[in-house]
Amino acid sequence: MQNKNVLIFGVTGQDGSYLAYLLIKSGYKIFGISKNKNTKNLKKLNIEKKVILIKFDYIDYFKIPLLIKKINCSLIFFLAGEISVKKSESTSYQYIISNTKVCVHILEYMRISKKKIKFLNASSEEIFGGSKTYRKLNENSTYFPRSFYALSKIISLEVIKSYRKQFGLWACNVIFYNNKSSFRVKGFVIKKITDFVKNIKNKRTDKKLQIGNTDIIREWGSAPEYSNATINIINYRVPNDFIIVTERDYKLRKI
């Protein structure tokens, strides 16, 4: 019988919540790692009681192999770590460690235990410098990091590539372009816009919305669709690296 245990790092975030929802529908048992027990997103999807939530301090990296062994999972998704490009400029070391060290401990457990585990790491379009020319990019394009967040994602991506090539592990990277949903945390522009609209509707503000450069061009993908693509990728027999992208971009002004 196939092992249906799944471990998701960052299960309470936007992508982790949707991923858990889709996997539960397919009969998987979800163990979710979170720095806090804010289950708001899981509640909205009506899966709060179906996810075994584990509060974990990422400082305790050495405990990760013990955690994986105890759960006895067949699939591992790393969707956690630090995510703010802006904040990474003031906490560069923290970003590099949080987005890399967990991956190393997962890979080392897979290498030493020789268990049949598939591991998927979430990377970001920021590794290419937030380039507008994504149609000319592919998974092997030259990196152009403009932040320590991007640098941390490049390091983890290359570590996973190396383990896959050297030790034959089933480990892959998924390079996400911008994807949004109502679960996005405050501070991201789409969330800022929708929250402002709600405040206008509820007559809680008479101010104007303050936005920066409205001529920036970005992808605005759907998080549920990206999560579905992620599941398709981890079901492949042979691991590789992939970009998930809509190939449609819009100016923020149009949004």
Q: Which helix (H) or strand (E) holds 61?
A: none
Query: How many whole angstroms separate alpha carbon 107 and alpha carbon 102?
Result: 9
Query: How many whole angstroms separate alpha carbon 113 and alpha carbon 105?
Result: 12
Decide: residue 191, CB within 10 A, 0-12 exposed, 13-18 middle, 19+ buried: middle
Mean pLDDT confidence for 79-93: 60
Q: 135-179: per-residue pLDDT in tens?
A: 678 888 889 888 888 888 999 999 999 999 999 999 999 998 877
What are phi and psi for residue 12, nearest 5 degrees? -90, -5
Locate tokens 């956690």: which residue? 80
Give the chain's mean pLDDT.
86
pLDDT at 205 over 80: no
**Nearest of 12, 7, 6, 72 to residue 42 by alpha carbon:** 12
pLDDT at residue 225, rounded to an integer: 92
pLDDT at residue 133, rounded to an integer: 57
Instruction: Select the more confidently predicted residue: 192 or 13.
Output: 13
Q: Please report, rounded to a whole number, the percentage of residues in the chain having pLDDT higher than 70.
A: 88
pLDDT at 130 over 70: no
pLDDT at residue 185, rounded to an integer: 61
Mean pLDDT lowest among 110-124, 204-218, 220-234: 204-218
pLDDT at 243 over 70: yes
Q: Which residues pair with residue 242 across a beta bridge?
A: 174
Query: How many whole angstroms separate alpha carbon 185 and alpha carbon 163?
Result: 33
Mean pLDDT confidence for 118-133: 83
Residue 159 structure tokens: 């570590």
Query: How many whole angstroms separate alpha carbon 249 and alpha carbon 14?
Result: 21
Instruction: Select the more confidently predicted residue: 86 or 241.
Output: 241
Q: Which domains, and CATH codes, for the chain?
A: 5-180+219-250 (3.40.50.720)
pLDDT at residue 24, rounded to an integer: 97
Locate tokens 């969330």: which residue? 191
Helices marked H in 6-130: 14-25, 40-44, 64-71, 92-98, 101-113
pLDDT at residue 98, rounded to an integer: 76
- Packed helices 14-25 and 223-234: angle between N→C axes, nearest 10 degrees: 60
